[in-house]
Structures are given as C-alpha cells and as structure tokens.
Amino acid sequence: MKTQNLGRSGLEVPVIAVGCMRINTIDKKEADRFAKTALDLGANFFDNADVYGDGACEEIFSTALTKVRREDVFIQTKCGIRKGFAFDFSKNHILKAVEGSLKRLRTDYIDVLLLHRPDILVEPEEVAAAFGALQASGKVRYFGVSNQNPLQIELLTKYVKQPIVANQLQFSVTHATMVTEGLHVNMLDDGAVDRTGGILDYCRLKDITVQAWSPFQYGFFEGVFLGSPKFPALNAKIDEIAEKYGVSNTAIAIAWILRHPAKIQVVTGTMKPERLKDCVKGSEICLTRDEWYAIYLAAGNILP
C-alpha cells in the first residue's frame, strides 16, 4: 500500500482510507473478515463518525479490532452533526461527542478528529478551546474538517492553534467541481461557476490533505456511476483502460483520483473485501495524462 503524509501531522498514512459508514449493514463475522482484509492490505486508516448508524458503526468497528494493537491502526472520526437537529460546533458538544466516540471505539485516543460539515453558527473561539482541551488531555492527536471552503477554514485557523491536517470533500470523476472550476477560469459557461472557493488549490497551498469521499458516486448518493447505463461513454472508457492494466473498473476509478498531484487520500465505502482489494490495486496504477483527461471527458465534463 502506498503511503503519504497527512497534512502537517507527520503521520505517514495509506492513500486508501477505509470508510466505516456502512459497517452496521454486515454481521460480526463479516465485519471481522473485512477488517482483517483491510489490515492485510495495509489499509490501516479507518474513517468513522459519531452519527454513522447513531454510533453503532463505531461500536461494530471497535469489536472487529479487539485483537489488533492500537498503535498499528489510525482511527479517524467526526463530530458536529446533531441528527434530526442541525450542526453544533460548540465546545460542550465537541467534548461530549469525543467522550462518546472514545467509549464506543474502545480507545484512549483518536488519531484524527474532523468537524463534520460546517456549522453556520460556529464560534471559532469555542472550537479552539475544545481542540486545546482535547489535545492537552491526549484524547485527540490531530484535527481537521469536512466539506469546508477556504474562508471557513481561515476563520477557524485564526483561533485554532492546531494545524488543520485534512478536509474531507466529495470527489469523483462525476463530481469533479473542484477541478472543473479550475479549468474554466474566466469563462462564461456553467463550469466557470466557483462553487468551492478554490478549495483544492487552497488545501495544496496550506498542506491540508483532501480526503475524497464517495469516489464512485454521482450526485449526492444518487448512485454509483460504474456500470450505470447513465454513463455509457464513461464506463466504456474506464473498461478500456482497465483492460489495458489488467485490473477492475473500480481500480481505475480510484487511480483517476490518485493521479491528481494534490496527493488526495481516497475514502472508500465498500464493505466487500474483494472490492477493497480492487481499490488498493488502484493505488498502484499511475494513469497517463492522456488517460486521465480521456476519463474526465467521457464523464461528460468539457474543456474550455
């Protein structure tokens, strides 16, 4: 498994992160097998959140790792969403959420804590106080955000002393806003609409690792583009390139994301060991520039 630095944390992490949002959809035996497969592949960075399965996903994940040394895995979780209500980045909520996650995860510390989506009522001074307390107590080592734009991160970092090491953002060839807006600068077409504030280049400038979630989805959980009749040209091109490299279409979809020089970390969502193996194979392939653009255009994206 290839590895890379996670932001400015100093952590050397695998380029494939294992998302655990759906781990509550499989039984314990399957979860144990899946976790073992991930570790055997070198995919020892696991992404969780307190809202996944109302906490059940963190609990199930922890039971699948009972025989694993804590120092042999990286555990990331997220907080800030109050299900059925809204978002809450208050100091009290962050501290309470972390205590709950630590208990469910059966660990004394979390490697990386992300703020889960933006809270429009955020008071960055409270976030700073929470992060400071968590770091001082040893309960959280590093901190990040998800789905935030440059100015939201700038506002946080005005007060937060710890570096923001990661920003988790939706990204795939069918959800490529971050790269499309960079290609269409100063144009008048829809691709020129700045929807992210230049977040991709911002993260590169600030040494913040972009973590790509939903790498196979189109829309907002509308479906998977691989094998979908909605994307015939894209699938034909991916299949053609997959045949050339002797891998699955899953591997090529992963390789497309990893080809970007931003050193993106891909967060998978599968609970199937064989598909996870395909994802890891994708990390071993470096697409040519021509192949990358051919896939991008086959997805319906256009060049100016």
Least Cα distance to 89 among 112, 47, 122, 43 occurs for 122
- Block residue for tokens 């931003």: 262
Nearest 5 degrees, angle CA 139-CA 28-CA 283? 70
What distance in Å separates the CA atoms of residue 254 and residue 274, rounded to the nearest whole number? Answer: 15
**From CA 166, how far away is CA 154, in angstroms rounded?**
14
In the residue annotation, 202 being an active-site residue is answered as no
Residues in the chain: 304
Token match 């996870």: residue?
276
Q: 31 Cβ partners below 8 Å, 6+ apart?
A: 23, 60, 61, 63, 64, 271
Active site residues: 52
